[in-house]
Amino acid sequence: MSLRTVVALVLTLLTSSCADAMDVRLQTIAATGVYYPEVDATLSRFRMMDIGGPGQMMFHAELQTELDVEQAIFRWDDDALATIVRTGDAVPEGDGKFRQFLRPMQNALGDIAFSAQLTDTPADSGIYLQKAQALHEVVREGEMVSGVTGPAEYYGSWPQLSDAGIIALRSNSISNRIYRGDENGLTIAAPRGLTTPTGGRFNGFFSASNPLINSQGEVAFWTGVDDPGATGVYRTAGSGYVAIATRDNPTSDGRVVQFAHPNAMLPDGRVVVAANYISDPGVSILIGDGVSTTVVAETGDLIPQHGVKLDLGADSGGLLGYITANRSGDVAFAGLLAEGYGDVTSENDLAVIRVVGGEIELLVQEGDAFDNGAMVFRRATSPPAMNDRGSVIFVGELRAGASYVDGLFASVNGAPVELLVATGDSIEVTPGVHKTITELSVFNEVRLNGGDAGWRNTLNEADESYFWAEFADESQALFLVSLDSGVSGDFSGDGVVDGLDFLIWQRDPSIGSLSDWEANYGASATTAAANTVPEPRGMALALVAIFVAVHRRR
């Protein structure tokens, strides 16, 4: 039995296997069955959520009500809960009311885009954008877009949102177009039937991949082409298009792509793609800009610290859906290691990997021990989200004896992966009320992570994340997770104590102590970790009034 206590909402994780001590702060954002007077609501179920800027979350929830199904989108910011929009609210254009909401998305600035089903209006649905504290209609079903002829569109897909407040979406009508838009309405980004740069015409945008948009308004998408050799990944470029990776067209190193799938778009317009080839086995992770492509990682690459190789083949455990990127073009993914290299066998070939600055790093491998050997890692069950400083967080499965549990894992800036919380843990949900976790998730369903390029956020630049939990009594709660690598004076949260932190302190001295900045100038999360003395797991912390306790029984 091990005991982990969170004092002042701080969970200190100290493992005997690493020389780094990670402080993890857990804070209950909201829980079902609790009445919140500030929003006049009692929650009954959580549906979708995003992390935004520091201390900021958005979530979509169902409410306890005597009506049919009532829903709302909430923002949690600086310990305050506020309602963005709720079932029964009038639409901003005044003709109709909101009924239900679909897959809201928040950017790092707190803007929120969402699809909605409507009542008391001929239009059944619409796309809306909450920006600068005001709610705007982007488009409603039945409204025509400039330059479009033919039947009215059904805008049934959910919008992707960039930090500039620009959205991209795919229509679900027979015309099947890609759009970009904002509070002023929609424009066509890519129409069906347009001639492509590689020949043929766009003949359908695949529903398995949503379009991606960055703050420059560039849109990347996966499309079929009536010339099968041109099917692949494209991006808008001004008034035209560039081919990023398409079937039967060679990449920069001369190999011919058989299949390509977009996974992320960077602020500078480069697109992260998973691709395989006609002549070579395995999969490559590429970054392309329409002129050249760079291989980030591929089958056969060596991970030198461990003497093992990547095996990103067709049977690599759903690799296409498990690649994420940060804004610098570093990537993290869950995939396979090649059997027969190092100590890799079919019993330990699943892994989570990151590539930073061109260096491939093995973060965790099937069979790695956690909780003092009581459990071993089996596989990742969510995409590993990575921010610009290289921190990674993901949900994974562990084996505990003859049973399996789910856990939330994190690595701060390349430090060893640690287990934060797992099913079977007892956690304080509200003051004095402890419950046992039976399920946990990060609800990262769209596979991509980051801010600027319109990807759903799971980990922000302040090393904050979240998780949703369900308990043995079938109640639920949402928690903010704050990772801390122990670097004092890093006011920007980028892992380095530098001049930027001094400027931030000048603007707001209450953010921290200038003496911390002076003492640690030039230090990074990595150097701080190296200088940390390991302490025993479960060490007592100074008592304060409010705490969350996590108690693990095995």
Q: What is the largest CA-CA distance in the chain?
A: 69
pLDDT tens digits for range 258-295:
888 888 889 899 999 988 888 777 788 999 998 888 89
Q: Measuring CA to CA, which residue among 153, 146, 150, 160 is closest to residue 114?
A: 160
Max mean pLDDT among 154-158, 307-311, 498-502 falls in 307-311
pLDDT tens digits for range 208-236:
678 899 989 999 998 888 877 788 899 99
pLDDT tens digits for range 149-178:
555 565 656 788 988 899 998 886 656 789
The whole-angstrom separation of Cα 145 and Cα 166 is 16
Q: Is the pLDDT of residue 510 over 70?
A: no
3 state DSSP class of 138: strand
Q: Above pLDDT 90, what percent of the chain?
A: 40
Mean pLDDT, rounded, for 104-130: 90
pLDDT tens digits for range 118-134:
999 888 888 999 998 89
pTM beyond 0.75: the answer is yes
The whole-angstrom separation of Cα 298 and Cα 281 is 10
User: In whole angstroms, what separates CA 132 from the centre of its chain?
Assistant: 23
Q: What confidence score (pLDDT) does residue 543 get?
A: 24
Task: Look at 124 and 400; give whichever has higher pLDDT.
Answer: 400
Burial of 473 (0-12, 13-18, 19+ CB in 10 A): exposed
E-assigned strand segments in 151-231: 160-161, 167-170, 178-182, 185-190, 202-205, 212-213, 219-225
Question: Where does the pLDDT of residue 551 fall: very low under 50, low under 70, confident under 90, or very high at 90 and above?
Answer: very low
Q: Above pLDDT 70, what percent of the chain?
A: 81
Q: Is the pLDDT of residue 303 over 90?
A: yes
3 state DSSP class of 407: strand
Question: Where does the pLDDT of residue 399 fall: very low under 50, low under 70, confident under 90, or very high at 90 and above?
Answer: very high
Q: Is the pLDDT of residue 485 over 60?
A: no
Q: Picking from 180-194, 383-397, 536-550, which range would have the lowest pLDDT averaged per residue?
A: 536-550
Q: What confidence score (pLDDT) does residue 474 get?
A: 95
